[in-house]
Amino acid sequence: MSDLLKRLTEARGVSGNEDQVRQLILEEVTPLVDEVRVDNMGSIIAFKKGVKSDKKVMLCAHMDEVGFIITRIDDNGMLKFAPVGSIDPRILPSKRVKIGDKAIPGVLGIKAIHLQEPSERETAAKAKQMYIDIGAKNREEAERLVKPGDYAVFDSECVYFGDSKVKSKALDDRVGCAVLIESLKGSYPFDLYACFTVQEEVGLRGAKVAAYSIQPDIALVVEGTTCSDVPGVEPHRYSTRMGEGPAISIADLTSYSNKKLVSLLIECAEKADIPFQIKESVSGGNDAGEIQRARGGTMTAVVSVPCRYIHSPSSVADLNDINNTLRLVQEFLKGCEAL
């Protein structure tokens, strides 16, 4: 799965501009399914006909990532921008980005520290104080390369390093996309819908439309989630722990996982000797929040890959966690027919 994950994470797909990653996923899933379509929001719905059941099971992973949108070009050629999705502004200065369809290179900049007032140095800079430098000498030169409304994405190479670790942008949620693609290589008794949704990072928008259209009986969301097992964080405040397997959610700010599905996930993991953990925080949210409430409601659960430094150009995950998440999803699908 390493090559697939590299191609997925390096593809550009800021919320609202998922074209490149969508095309990549379409090329991967089309040979594996009976039907594939792109809905009006831009989400991919890949359908695999069941061999003996009309039960509908939905797998969901979002294809979009956090990034930026250009809002203004100043006279000096610098670009003002707004974040798309939740990004910690402390990580932004000096980060490289690619802008627009032509992937124009740029650097996120801020006033040099030796020009800042003492009070400015004592507080974290905000995104509105920053700009993107594309090396243009004035507005006219910049306008030949970019325009307001263009999207910018972190410029970050996928790198495998250390003890089975991977560093990249967009592990949230290209890890989930990779798991869904690999899961489509199996055959199942029920109708399987693999949904690669858009605009999750700006309000779970694609999942709401996809779930309303499909009306699944069961849904499993596969996510990349916060991993806080790092220096300076007390163990009792960890959300997940890297290397300890996929994280099964009990609840978050947008949804409660169905207890039968949580029990099935735990049972599948234990029977197949798959390491797993229970996600210990209930902060944040994901596509399950909208899928659970679609139409008459859906039995929904969430399994996630722990990712350190999430929503940054250098997120880190453990390949063993990713592979074990795939194994757990496959075992879960085997058990769905009995529900």
CB burial readout 169-199, b (16+ within 10 A) else e: bbbbbbbbbbbbbbbbeeebbbbbbbbbbbb
CA-CA-CA-CA torsion for 276, 278, 281, 285, nearest 10 degrees?
80
Record the tokens describing residue 172, joined without a space: 């949230």
Residue identified by tokens 């949230």 is 172
Record the tokens describing residue 268, joined without a space: 């599948």
Q: What is the DSSP letter of 122?
A: T
How many angstroms separate the first and last alpha carbons of the chain?
A: 30
| Closest-CA residue to 14 (of 70, 61, 72, 63) | 63
Record the tokens describing residue 178, joined without a space: 């990779």
Distance from C-alpha of 339 to C-alpha of 330, rounded to nearest angstrom:
15
Residue 306 near residue 240, CB atoms below 8 Å: yes
Residues annotated as part of the active site: 200
Q: Is 102 helix (H, G, I), strand (E, B) or coil?
A: coil
Residue 48 near residue 93, CB atoms below 8 Å: no
Contacts of 165 by beta carbon, 8 Å cutoff, 6+ apart: 316, 317, 318, 319
Q: Is 192 helix (H, G, I), strand (E, B) or coil?
A: strand
Beta strands 67-73 and 151-154, pairing class: antiparallel
Dihedral pair phi/psi, residue 280, rounded to 5°: -95, -5
Residue 264 near residue 339, CB atoms below 8 Å: yes
Residue 294 near residue 211, CB atoms below 8 Å: yes
